[in-house]
């Protein structure tokens, strides 16, 4: 049990046997318990019956691809388990698509096992520490960090876990500006992501919290950072 507490329970969804064996054996040696699925359908069945700390999901699968698996987890099964997507595609569009599907982070193949360790530890650590009971309000948007529920006006909004974490930082600091480096360090610690990661998450966040509404709340301050604020409220305060 001590090993389980140290590592966590990982679901590895990967159809390439050699890759799955290499990753699985490495994670077990690092103190994780690992369940394995060779295709998307099997992975979804395991998620429905288990309680995982993190899911490692390959993008290319023989039946349901990783994008669709991730979408089903988030939109149909209401799963908020952190998802690390493995992909050989490294363009910005591919990364945005993966994050938009609900992935929390991605790792481009080939990857170093030390990098996989760091990403998994960060995802699990954030997930376990997201049970505080703060309720934040900015304009007509409300985030309850205890239940991780988000709404704007009367509309309930669905945002992946990393997006909610970014949002909680911006709402906590509102109306102050938060620098890019401050956000990255609070979320990813010393293992900072590549330059596209935060930008992709913010792009997807805007699509949910701002684009359907008349008034934007998330503002980019060029070369400085980001702030979440109701500008009308600031003007009239």
**pLDDT class of 2 with cuts at 50, 70, 90:** very low
> In sequence order, what are the beta bridge partners of 220?
226
Q: Does domain 2-128 match CATH 3.30.70.3000?
A: no
Average pLDDT, the chain: 85
Q: Mean pLDDT, to the nearest integer, of 49-73?
A: 90
Architecture category of domain 135-235 in CATH: Orthogonal Bundle (1.10)
Same CATH topology for 2-128 and 135-235: the answer is no
This prediction has a pTM of 0.60
Confidence grade of residue 137 (pLDDT, cut at 50, 70, 90): very high
Cβ distance 77 to 179 under 8 Å? no
C-alpha of 75 from chain center = 14
pLDDT reading at 79 higher than 80: no
DSSP-assigned beta bridge partners for residue 84: 56, 105
Average pLDDT for 2-8: 52
Sorted by where each begins, the domain ranges of the chain are 2-128, 135-235
Sheet hosting strand 141-144, strand order edge to edge: 135-138, 141-144, 149-152, 155-157
Grade residue 160 by pLDDT with cuts at 50, 70 and 90. confident
| Predicted local confidence at residue 22, as pLDDT | 93
């Amino acid at each position: 049990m001590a090993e389980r507490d140290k590592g966590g329970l990982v679901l590895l969804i990967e159809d390439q046997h050699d890759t799955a064996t290499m990753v699985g054996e490495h994670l077990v040696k690092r103190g994780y318990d690992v369940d394995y699925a060779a295709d998307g359908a099997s992975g979804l069945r395991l998620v429905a019956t288990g309680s995982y700390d993190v899911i490692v999901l390959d993008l290319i699968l023989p039946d349901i691809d990783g994008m669709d698996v991730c979408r089903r987890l988030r939109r149909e099964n209401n799963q908020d388990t952190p998802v690390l997507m493995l992909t050989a595609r490294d363009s910005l569009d591919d990364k945005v698509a993966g994050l938009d599907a609900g992935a929390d982070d991605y790792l481009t193949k080939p990857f170093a096992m030390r990098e996989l360790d760091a990403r998994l530890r960060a995802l699990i650590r954030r997930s376990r520490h997201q049970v505080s009971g703060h309720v934040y309000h900015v304009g007509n948007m409300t985030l309850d960090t205890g239940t991780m529920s988000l709404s704007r006006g009367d509309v309930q909004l669905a945002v992946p876990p990393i997006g909610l974490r970014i949002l909680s930082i911006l709402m906590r600091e509102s109306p102050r500006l938060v620098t890019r480096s401050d956000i990255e360090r609070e979320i990813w610690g010393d293992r900072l992501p590549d330059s596209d990661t935060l930008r992709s998450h913010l792009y997807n966040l805007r699509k949910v919290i701002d684009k359907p509404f008349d008034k934007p709340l998330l503002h980019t301050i060029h070369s400085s950072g980001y702030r979440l604020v109701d500008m009308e409220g600031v003007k009239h305060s």
